[in-house]
Structure 1
Amino acid sequence: MAKLSRHERRERRHKRIRKKIFGTPERPRLCVYKSLNAFYAQIIDDTVGRTLVSASSIDRDFVQLTGKRGGKSIQDVQKVAELLVKKALEKGIKKVVFDRGGFLYHGKIKAFADKCRELGLEF
């Protein structure tokens, strides 16, 4: 059996997680994705397949807040969390289900989740 690449291992973890996690109107799914150059997060209602709120490190709001495009640092990820939580609370979303997207729960993913909890999201 051939050794799986890092990307293939992440995709397997993501599929395994998504079997169990489903966003409802009461508790939508908070999905995160990180690339080498940017960080993306969105809150999704899986019953209708609609994105309710989104934020990323390449959004216009993020660029205005930080003065740069693309967030590679943990501080940038925390700024994305602030933008996302602000938008979510404006829409009345307080409880979510966290989908880490197959990424290991440490570093940027953990910093993002901790900041969201600190700012008022429950998961």
Structure 2
Amino acid sequence: MGLSKTERKLRIRRRIRKVSFGTEARPRLSVFRSNKEIYAQLIDDNKGVTLAAASSRDKDVDAKGTKTEVASTVGKAIAEKALKLGIETVAFDRGGNLYHGRVKSLAEGAREAGLKF
């Protein structure tokens, strides 16, 4: 019998985290997607510190429209915060989610705002 949905996601997440590592110069852009909201963090894994964060629950993020439109807005918000900190490149960690829908929209929004990964 095949893997359940949660087991498959956990297996993908572990595989991604083996190769995705954040430093101060190139932090890890971690994405968490719940049923209603989407969250993004810039993480320095050497120090174990979150450098910046953005989510669809933030007051400065316009949370109107479809979930994919909101995810794009969150991507732009995290990219703006990263550029203010002097960060231009990141390691993308999709957190076990498949690269489509809201995760893809967040990544494209961050790229439009000037982040490279």
By the TM > 0.5 criterion, same fold? Answer: yes
Identity of aligned residues (%): 49
**Alignment RMSD:** 1.5
Asked if the contact 1:23–1:44 (Cα under 8 Å) also holds between the matched residues in 2, the reply is yes
For residues 80-119 of structure 1, the C-alpha deviation after alignment (integer angstroms, 9 at most, x for no partner) is 1121111111111111000011111111111111111111
Asked if the contact 1:33–1:41 (Cα under 8 Å) also holds between the matched residues in 2, the reply is yes
Scaled by the length of structure 1, what TM-score is found? 0.88
Aligned partners of 2:56 and 2:89: how far apart in 1?
Answer: 23
Asked if the contact 1:82–1:116 (Cα under 8 Å) also holds between the matched residues in 2, the reply is yes
Determine if the alignment matches structure 1 residue 12 to structure 2 residue 6. Answer: no
Moved over 6 A (4+): none
Determine if the alignment matches structure 1 residue 78 to structure 2 residue 77. Answer: no
Determine if the alignment matches structure 1 residue 54 to structure 2 residue 48. Answer: no
1:1-123 pair list within 5 angstroms: 2-62=1-61, 65-66=62-63, 73-123=67-117
Q: Which runs of 5+ in 2 are unaligned?
A: none
Aligned partners of 1:113 and 1:104: how far apart in 2?
Answer: 12
**CA 1:40–1:72 in structure 2 vs 1: closer, same or farther (change >3 Å)?**
farther
For residues 57-94 of structure 1, the C-alpha deviation after alignment (integer angstroms, 9 at most, x for no partner) is 112222xx34x6xx861111011112111111111111
Scaled by the length of structure 2, what TM-score is found? 0.92
